[in-house]
């Protein structure tokens, strides 16, 4: 099933997305990413497949603590790290390196930063990366190539209700968009199938975060991402606008001691979780058919009769 062109994710500023990818987190992985990683790791209990090897996509921002949870769950599996941004490779390696005194140095498989196995990995873990990709369909296709046949992808990202209060505030005040648009989970499912994955399972939840002051709210938002909307304000904002934003943010506090607590700035984050398996490759017959050597080997191996 191909993705409906009318439902493609909104355009993201590719140059701005590239700048964000190169920016190392100042104080480790964001707290919210770690919490989402913890919740996603808990979902692995329902997947009976036991990976022989797994890979963590961009863990420096995706979640270093979440990485450790996976390492403990799959102690016998070979673990790989994929840092797609060369500028962050050294920081990622340093953050995940086990100190000489740590039990991690002799528990479980050795962490690898080199190339993945030729056949791919049984689990590709990608926490909180997809919503910041300028070309998400190309990224999903890339992930598909890195997953072994019968392996699976597990990912999380922001959904369309994220920052709905802040976006409404910007619209009411006549300001440009507060963030780029986030893709619906049904569209992610379509893209997974279009890339060659099978049996996608998607679910979502909403998390409301609250802060006592505008300064605290904005500081945390800066750790989570950037506004990649092509029509965002194109220059630096001045002190007058910043003061106006600080004055307006307390309007986002729920009244009467609501869900976020009276007097505290509250913002909604929609979290999408998804996983999908990679089935045996199929080649449609035509006058000329192209297939990779890896796919050919997999198809031939699947076609061999079992010994009795």
Contact 80, 121 (CB under 8 A): yes
Q: Which two tokens stand for residue 66?
A: 């979440």
Q: Which two tokens stand for residue 63?
A: 């979640």
Query: How much is the pLDDT for 260?
Result: 45
Phi, psi values for residue 232, rounded to 5°? -70, 165
Query: How much is the pLDDT for 290?
Result: 53
Q: Left, alpha or beta for 198 (phi > 0: left; psi -120 to 50: alpha)?
A: beta
Place of tokens 């006549």: 174
CA gap 130, 67 in Å, rounded: 17
Contact 120, 151 (CB under 8 A): yes
Digit-by-digit pLDDT tens for the chain (308 residues) are 444 444 454 579 999 999 999 999 988 899 999 999 999 999 999 999 899 999 999 999 999 999 999 999 999 999 999 999 999 999 999 999 865 445 555 555 578 998 899 999 999 999 999 999 999 999 999 999 999 999 999 999 999 999 999 999 999 999 999 999 999 999 999 999 999 999 999 999 999 999 999 999 999 999 999 999 999 888 778 899 999 999 999 999 985 545 545 679 999 999 999 999 999 987 554 555 455 555 555 555 554 444 43
Q: Which two tokens stand for residue 18?
A: 């590239």
Query: How much is the pLDDT for 97?
Result: 83
Q: Which two tokens stand for residue 55?
A: 């890979």
């Amino acid at each position: 099933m191909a993705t409906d062109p009318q439902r493609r994710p909104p355009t993201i500023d590719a140059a701005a997305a590239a700048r964000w990818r190169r920016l190392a987190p100042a104080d480790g992985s964001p707290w919210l990413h770690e919490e989402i990683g913890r919740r996603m790791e808990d979902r692995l209990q329902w997947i009976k497949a036991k990976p022989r090897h797994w890979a963590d996509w961009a863990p420096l921002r995706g979640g270093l603590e979440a990485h450790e949870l996976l390492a403990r769950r799959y102690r016998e599996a070979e673990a790989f790290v994929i840092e797609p941004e060369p500028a962050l490779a050294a920081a990622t390696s340093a953050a995940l390196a086990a100190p000489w005194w740590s039990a991690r140095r002799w528990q479980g498989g050795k962490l690898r930063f080199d190339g993945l196995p030729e056949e791919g990995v049984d689990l590709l873990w990608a926490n909180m990366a997809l919503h910041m990709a300028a070309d998400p369909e190309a990224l999903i296709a890339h992930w598909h190539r890195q997953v072994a046949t019968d392996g699976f992808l597990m990912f999380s990202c922001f959904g369309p209700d994220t920052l709905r209060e802040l976006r409404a505030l910007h619209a009411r005040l006549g300001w440009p968009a507060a963030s780029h648009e986030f893709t619906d989970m049904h569209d992610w499912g379509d893209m997974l199938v279009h890339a060659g994955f099978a049996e996608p399972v998607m679910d979502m939840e909403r998390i409301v975060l609250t802060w006592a002051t505008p300064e605290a709210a904005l500081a945390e938002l800066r750790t989570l991402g950037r506004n990649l909307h092509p029509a965002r304000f194109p220059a630096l904002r001045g002190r007058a606008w910043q003061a106006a934003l600080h004055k307006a943010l307390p309007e986002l506090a729920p009244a009467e001691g609501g869900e976020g607590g009276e007097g505290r700035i509250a913002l909604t984050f929609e979290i999408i979780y998804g996983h999908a398996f990679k089935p045996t490759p199929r080649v449609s017959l035509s006058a000329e058919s192209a297939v990779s050597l890896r796919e050919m080997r997999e198809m031939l191996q699947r076609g061999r009769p079992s010994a009795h």
